[in-house]
Amino acid sequence: MNNLEMIYSHCEHTSCYTYFRISGDFDPDTISELLGLTPDKSWKIGDTGKDGKSKYDFACWHFGTCKEYDVLVVNQMLKTITPLLSKVNILREIKEKFDVVFTLEVVPTVRFDELAPCLAPSIQVMQFCCDTGTEIDIDLYVSCPDDFDNGVVWENS
């Protein structure tokens, strides 16, 4: 234990983004109208997918994308949901009327040698999710140093 060295904690390559998503069988324009909000992106059933060939078999409404990384990801979650906090009753009505799925998406990309973000939601975030039936989905990606692709193997010395 005496020969352990302190390492520099950093997160220059680590990132995270969050957004709120509604998915199901609905018209995204109707959702925008009911909430009085403009989505960051949306599509209807039958719209052409990203590949230019396939067709979406569900509608989607993305809102509140926050790419301003904070090691306390709850701050990003709060930025995403804050405009929705006053619309809980409308969201409940949308969920009941259209039988949709609400998701708070959290997408961190961490590098194995950097400080990992704190992904714990706050009571306020959890209360919003409980009040609206919103699921929290965390899609965690791990990246490696650039020279990993050159066949370098990292090991403790």
What pTM was computed for the model? 0.84
- Which residues share a beta bridge with 16? 108
For 22-33, the pLDDT digits (tens) are 999 999 999 999
Summarize pLDDT for 67-105 with one digit per residue, the tens.
999 889 999 999 999 999 999 999 999 999 998 999 999
At residue 42, the 3 state secondary structure works out as: strand
Question: How far apart (Å, rounded) are the C-alpha atoms in residues 20 and 82?
Answer: 11
d(CA 88, CA 6): 47
Which helix or strand (DSSP H or E) is residue 78 part of? helix 74-81
- What does the pLDDT read at residue 120? 94
Calpha distance 132→113 (Å, rounded): 37
DSSP code, position 68: -
Compute how many other C-beta atoms are within 10 angstroms of the C-beta atom of residue 75.
16
